Structures are given as C-alpha cells and as structure tokens.
Amino acid sequence: MHHASKVIQKRNVTGAARLRRALQTSDSSKDIAFALLIMIYKCKNNIMIGKSHTQLKFVGQWYDECQSILLQYINFLQFAYSNEEYSTLLPSMGALAHEYGLDNAIIFHLYRPIASQIHRKQLEGISPSPGEELVWHTLLQEAQTIFPLSVWENVSLEFCMEFWCMDASDIFLPSVLYEDTIAKCKQDLNVYKAQLQGEMTLQVEHQLLDLSTTIDILTQEYSTLSSIISQNRNQLTMNMITWIRNSSQSSTVLTMLQYFVFPRAKLSYTDAFYASQFMNLMHTSHTPRFSTLQYHDVLFRDFAQLVFSCSESESTHFGIFMLETLRQLSRWRDPTTYALQCAEFDGFSTRTMTSNSTQAEFSEFLKISYKWQHRIAKALLLRLSSSDYMELRNVLIVLVVLVDQFPVVSSHGRHLCKHVERIIVKDNRGDVTTVAKRYLSMLKSAQLKWQPDETFSANEHFAETYIT
C-alpha cells in the first residue's frame, strides 16, 4: 500500500515537472503560467455571454468543465512550484479582483497555500518570521479591498482570514473512519493469524507485517491529528471574540452567507464540507453575537434561491453542504445530545417580546426544526412545478444528494413523490426524467424512515419568538 502510494507520488512529480517545462520559454515561465490561468477563468465567465436560453444545458456543462479545469490547473501550480516560486506568479489580491476580475472564492483558493502556512504557525503558537509577518499584514490589507465596506460592519478581517485560510483537515478529524479502518485491519490480522498452520510462508509473513505496520501508522497518525485539531480549535475559540462586530444577528448572518459560506460551499465537495464544519464550529465554540438559530433560519429561507443560482456541479456541492447541515440538526433532535450541545449554548438563546433573552427549550427546537423542514419542502415543491430546465434539474440534483436527510416528514415525502411522478409522466426531456426516476426510486426506499407530522413537530403550535 505504501509502496503504491510512493509510485503514484513519483509519477505525479514527474508529470508536473514535464508540464511545468512546457510552460517555460527562453524569457520566463511567469507570464505564461499566469496568463493561462487568467485565460481559463475568462473562458469560464465568457461562456454565458451572448448564448441563447435554448442552450442552457450545454452552457451549464461548459461552465462546469471550465471550472473543473481551472481548479485542476490551480492545483497543478500549487504542486509544481515551491511556495516562494508560486508567490511570485500571483499579483496582489486587489489586482486579481479589480484588474483581472476574479471572484473572491478563486482569489482565496489561489492564495490559500501562502496564507495557510503562516496561519498554521499562528494556531500552533509559533511566531512567524519578520518576512511572514509582512506577508500576512499585506494579505490583511488586500483582503479588505476586495469586499464591500458593508462586510466589515458585520465581521472582522480576522474572521475573513480564518474562514478562507483553513480547510477541513484543520478543524475536522474523521474519527469514525480512522476507528473503523483500524478495527478492520486488526480483524484481518487476527484472521491471518488464526489461519496459520505449520510454517509461515513468506507471503503471509509480509501480509502480517503490512497489517501491523498499517495499524501502527494509522494509530500514530490519528493521535497526532487529534492533538493538532484540538489545539487549532482551542486557539480559534480564543480568536472568535473579535469575529463578529455587529449586534444585529440578521445582518451578520446575511453577510456570512452571501460573501463567505455560499461562495465556498459551491466551489467543490471538500469546500462544501469545510463550510458546514466551520459554521458548526462557530456554534460549538460559543462565538459571541452569533445566533445558530438565526443562521439556520436565514439559510433555509434562502435555500431554493441559492440552488437556482447554481450550475449543475455547484448544485451538487451545495447539496453536500446542506446534507451535512441537516445531519447536524438531526443529531440535535436527540434530547441527550441537545442537552449537551445546544441547551446552554449562546447560539440557542432566543428573544421574545417580554424578555431580552432566554434559552430555547428542547420542545421548542423540535417545532423550529419542523418549521425548517416545512420551509424547505414548500420551496422545493414550488421549484418542481417549474418548466424551466435549469431550475428543475438543479432541484432534482440537490434532492438526490439530500435524500438521506430530507424529507423526514411523511406529508413532505408524499407531496414530493406526487410532483416527481408528474415530472416523469409529463416532461419529455430525457435527462430530466432520468434524474427524476432515480430520485423517485431513492425516495420510496427511504420512506420507512419518515415520521408523521405530529411526531416530528411535537404536536403543538409554536409561536415564532426566536426570530429577532
């Protein structure tokens, strides 16, 4: 396993070096490498200009293909060049935004290797060098120029850099995956030992050695990563006191979703997962002036519009973000989990007409989460009634991704089944009906997990006192 990994890595290095040489000229590779980056980005953005609405399917496919190539090319640059060489390829953040017209998500994706190297030192309590301090200060100044001034009325530069500099590996440890893999290796090791009869063959000896080595490596890796992520989270918790500037929860949440969460969530699978984990971290770390209830309320209110503004691939990525968000809400519907992770948390304080602040009771949360499920269902059913190709296909794509967590209420599931069956019968676009048939099959398989409305909503009317 480790030998195969080394062979693949060697091939990647060889291929990257060959590709880098192809970009070089007798003068410099700088202009060509960067010019190609801008050309790919411009190609992606110009695809939609001047195209007929009858070509939406192909325009969407071209857009997604260009975005995929753009991200691959950026990954190549970050792999093939050292940090020093890579930093010389890029103009400033301000130039990328204002002169070349790159969007902020791509700008921070380009600068993440440079910024994260310094940021990780800060999280570990290591003082950056004077040169790194200068680079970090420059990045802060440049970041401030690429967002509207209204953003800084709600969140701080520190929040901006923390959000964009990190990735999922900085704040999330897949504990279950590690534990399951280690357990499987131990099980295989015991099976091999039990099958041994007489002398041990060389092949079996190598297999036993590989399994033992893998167990040791994974155990050590898990312990190391656990320590690093715990340290990162502790440092971030201390930093969070400066993140939110505005006491208006609705304004702050809108800013976070519009300029940070949504742009990153639609970028890739890993970015979508990271965005969901980062927002959950804000809740678990008691971020001052951050309302978890308000955040989810605005997210689900604008959910359908966000999906409609996506391409096909972006819809899938955003679906991953929503899936992880709904999974967390589902875990909180357990009374024990709610007591540990929500009951006394700042993000679950509510405001009413008669008091300044109270904590949301578990029964109230059940009603709130039912309201959110109902809001999602109502918005998606409306979109499923549309004849617009992109609107209909995007919704179906997201529904396929969400089927494990939505719908969970029986009435919502029945209405979705009727709408999808109607699409299959009446829509004559083959690619739409193919996705609809797939989703309908998945939907019917999941219906045993659905709950009656009165069970899911705790069977009481809830006055919406938590909206500020």
Domain endpoint, select from 217, 238, 259 = 238
Domain endpoint, select from 89, 107, 133 = 89
Backbone angles phi, psi at 155, to 5 degrees: -130, 165
Q: Is the separation of the CB atoms in 271 and 359 below 8 Å? A: no
d(CA 16, CA 22): 10
Q: Measured between alpha carbons, how far is residue 309 from residues 263, 347, 375, 459 in Å?
A: 11, 29, 18, 35
Domain co-membership, 296 together with 438: yes
Q: Is the separation of the CB atoms in 260 and 316 below 8 Å? A: no
Give just the sign of the alpha carbon dihedral 19, 21, 25, 27: positive
Residue at 158 is within a domain? no
Q: Which domain holds residue 4?
A: 1-89
Q: 155 has which bridge partners?
A: 244
Q: Which residue, among 157, 160, 399, 172, has the nearest Cα to 280 in the 3D structure?
A: 172
Q: Which residue, among 72, 114, 66, 52, has the nearest Cα to 89 in the 3D structure?
A: 114
Phi-psi region of 459 (alpha: psi -120 to 50; beta: other; left: phi over 0): left
Domain co-membership, 212 together with 254: no
pLDDT of residue 349: 86
d(CA 159, CA 90): 23
What is the per-residue pLDDT across 352-383, written as a single tens digit (0 to 9) for each? 434 566 888 999 999 999 999 999 999 999 99
What is the per-residue pLDDT across 187-205, written as a single tens digit (0 to 9) for each? 888 887 777 665 566 777 7
pTM: 0.89
Compute how many other C-beta atoms are within 10 angstroms of the C-beta atom of residue 227.
Answer: 11
Residue that the structure tokens 């979109």 belong to: 383
Q: What letter does residue 81 receive in the DSSP assignment?
A: S
In the three-class reduction of DSSP (H, G, I as helix; E, B as strand; rest coil), residue 350 is classed as strand
Residue that the structure tokens 């689900």 belong to: 300
Residue at 163 is within a domain? no
Q: Which residue, among 286, 282, 308, has the nearest Cα to 296 in the 3D structure?
A: 282
d(CA 208, CA 190): 9
pLDDT of residue 467: 33
> DSSP characters for 171-222?
H---HHHHHHHHHHHHHHHHHHHHH--SSPPHHHHHHHHHHHHHHHHHHHHH
Q: Is the separation of the CB atoms in 375 and 322 below 8 Å? A: no
* Tokens encoding 222: 């898990």
Residue that the structure tokens 């969970």 belong to: 408
Residue that the structure tokens 């640059």 belong to: 77
What is the per-residue pLDDT across 430-446, written as a single tens digit (0 to 9) for each? 889 999 999 999 999 99
Residue that the structure tokens 């966000």 belong to: 306
Residue at 338 is within a domain? yes
Domain co-membership, 61 together with 205: no
Q: What letter does residue 409 receive in the DSSP assignment?
A: B
Q: Is the separation of the CB atoms in 132 and 184 below 8 Å? A: no
Domain co-membership, 228 together with 317: no
Q: 451 has which bridge partners?
A: 409
Q: Which residue, among 105, 442, 383, has the nearest Cα to 271 in the 3D structure?
A: 105
Q: Which amino acid is at 145?
A: T
Number of domains in the chain: 3
Domain co-membership, 286 together with 430: yes
Domain co-membership, 309 together with 392: yes
Residue at 36 is within a domain? yes
Domain co-membership, 223 together with 254: no
CA 454 to chain centre: 32
What is the per-residue pLDDT across 272-298, written as a single tens digit (0 to 9) for each? 999 999 999 999 999 999 999 999 999
Domain co-membership, 47 together with 188: no
Residue at 411 is within a domain? yes
d(CA 436, CA 285): 40
Domain co-membership, 426 together with 448: yes
* Count of residues making up the chain: 468
d(CA 6, CA 217): 15
* Tokens encoding 290: 């951050």
Q: Which amino acid is at 412?
A: H
Residue at 465 is within a domain? no
Q: 409 has which bridge partners?
A: 451
Residue at 213 is within a domain? yes
CA 85 to chain centre: 29
Domain endpoint, select from 89, 111, 136 = 89
Mark the ranges of the chain whose per-residue pLDDT is less than 70. Answer: 1-12, 25-31, 50-54, 196-201, 351-357, 459-468
Domain co-membership, 228 together with 377: no
d(CA 346, CA 286): 6
Q: What letter does residue 451 receive in the DSSP assignment?
A: B
> DSSP characters for 138-166?
HHHHHHHHSS-GGGGGTB-HHHHHHHHH-
Domain co-membership, 402 together with 266: yes
Compute how many other C-beta atoms are within 10 angstroms of the C-beta atom of residue 18.
Answer: 10
Residue at 398 is within a domain? yes
Domain co-membership, 229 together with 301: no
Backbone angles phi, psi at 92, to 5 degrees: -70, 165
* Tokens encoding 358: 């109270």
